[in-house]
Amino acid sequence: MAQPQIHQFACLKDNYGVLVHDAEEGVTLSIDAPDAPAVKRALDERGWKLTHILVTHHHADHTAGIPSLKSETGCTVIGPKAESVRIPCLDVGVAEPDALALGRLEAKVLDTPGHTIGHITYWFPAAQIAFVGDTLFAMGCGRVLEGTPQMMWASLRKIAELPRDTQLYCGHEYTVSNGKFGVSIEPGNARLIERLAEAEAARAEGRPTLPTNVEIELETNVFLRADTREIREHVKLPLAPDWKVFAELRDRKNRF
C-alpha cells in the first residue's frame, strides 16, 4: 500500500495548504492552491515537483494560486465539474463517483455540497486520508453559502460515515472559535471541553490543530451531533428532523 508523505503548512490569514508526495512515482499533489508563493516555498523546501492540484471548491482562498503554479510547473488541475467555469485553468472536472489514479495513489471523489454548490472532498481510502476543504472543520463546519442546510447536513454525514480512523485535512484553522461555540451548545461534553483546552494550548504555541479524524469529530463536533438528545433539547427542537437542528446550530454559529 502506498503511504504518501504529507506536508501541511499555514498560509494567507488562516488557510492551510497541503502537499501529498509519493516519492516512488514522483507524484506531488497540492490540495487547493491558496497562495502560489507559499505553495512554491513548501515544494522547494522539500525538493518536490508539483504534478497535480486537487481543487475542493472555487473560492479565491483555494484557487488564487492556480494560474501561477500551473504556468510554472505545467501541473494538471483537477476540480469540481459543477464549478468548472469558476475555477481557473481547470483541466479535469470531476464529481462523485469518479476515482482518480495519481501514480500509486487512489482518490475517490465525494460530492459534499453546501458551502458551495459543487464542493467536493477527495478521499484516499488506502492512505486513510480525506481532504474536506471548507465542508468540515475541527469541531465546526463551513458556512452554508450556496447550498441548503439539508445539503450541508448530508455532506457532513457523508464525511462522518468514512472509516473512523480517516485523517481529515481541512481548509482553515478555526478550531478554537469552533470549540468555544461547541462548548456553549454542549457544556456537558467533557471530551469537547478537553479538546478546546488542547487546541488553545496548541495555538498559543503556534502549532496547528489539524489534521483531525472522523472519530474525534463524532465525539466533539456539535454540527455532527445534531441528532443527539442533549443538543436537540439545548436548541429546543426535540422532534425536528436532524437537518433542522443542524440549520439552527449553523445559524447560531453565524451570530456567535
For 101, 141, 153, 186, 187, the CA distances from 240, given in Å and listed in that order, are 42, 20, 14, 18, 21
Annotation marks residue 134 as catalytic: yes
CB 99, min distance to Fe ion, A: 25
173 binds, among Zn ion, Fe ion, none (CB under 5 to 8 A by kind): none
Nearest C-alpha neighbor of 76 from the set 30, 25, 16: 30
Residue 248 interacting partner from Zn ion, Fe ion, none (CB closer than 5 to 8 Å by kind)? none
Based on the shown chain and the rule CB under 5 A, indicate whether residue 32 belongs to the binding site for Fe ion: no
With respect to Zn ion, which residue has the nearer C-beta, 12 or 216? 12
Nearest to 212 by CA among 154, 129, 152, 147: 129
Helix (H, G, I), strand (E, B) or coil at 83: helix
- How far is 41 from 43, CA to CA, in rounded Å? 5
User: Of 35 and 111, which has the nearer Cβ to Fe ion?
Assistant: 35
Please identify which residue in 61, 111, 186, 248 interacts with Fe ion, judged by CB under 5 A: 61
What's the CA gap between 63 and 35, in Å, rounded?
8
The catalytic position among 22, 35, 61, 111 is: 61
Query: Quick check: 151 and 243 in contact, CB under 8 A?
Result: no
Which residue lies nearer to Zn ion by CB, 34 or 93? 34
The three grid cell numbers given for residue 26, joined into one nine-digit string: 514522483
Q: Is 62 a catalytic residue?
A: yes
Best CA proximity match to 155, nearest among 113, 94, 97, 123? 113
Q: Is residue 58 flagged as an active site residue?
A: no
Nearer to Zn ion, 28 or 30 (CB): 30
DSSP 196-242: HHHHHHHHHTT-----EEHHHHHHH-GGGGTTSHHHHHHTT-TTS-H
Residues 130-149 that bind Fe ion (CB under 5 A): 134
Binding mask 149-188 toward Fe ion (x if CB under 5 A, else -) reads: ----------------------x-----------------
- Residues near Zn ion, by CB under 5 A: 59, 134
Does position 17 bind Fe ion by CB under 5 A? no
Q: Which residue's CB is nearer to Fe ion, number 4 or number 133? A: 133
How many other β-carbons are positioned within 10 Å of the β-carbon of residue 169? 19
Residue 22 interacts with Fe ion (CB under 5 A)?
Answer: no
In the complex, minimum distance from the CB of residue 15 to Fe ion, in angstroms, rounded to a whole number: 6
- Is 98 tagged catalytic? no
Q: How far is the CB of 163 from Fe ion (least distance, A)?
A: 25
The amino acid occupying position 145 is L
Residue 111 falls in the annotated catalytic set: no
Catalytic residues: 57, 59, 61-62, 115, 134, 172
Residues at the contact surface with Fe ion, assessed by CB under 5 A:
61, 134, 171
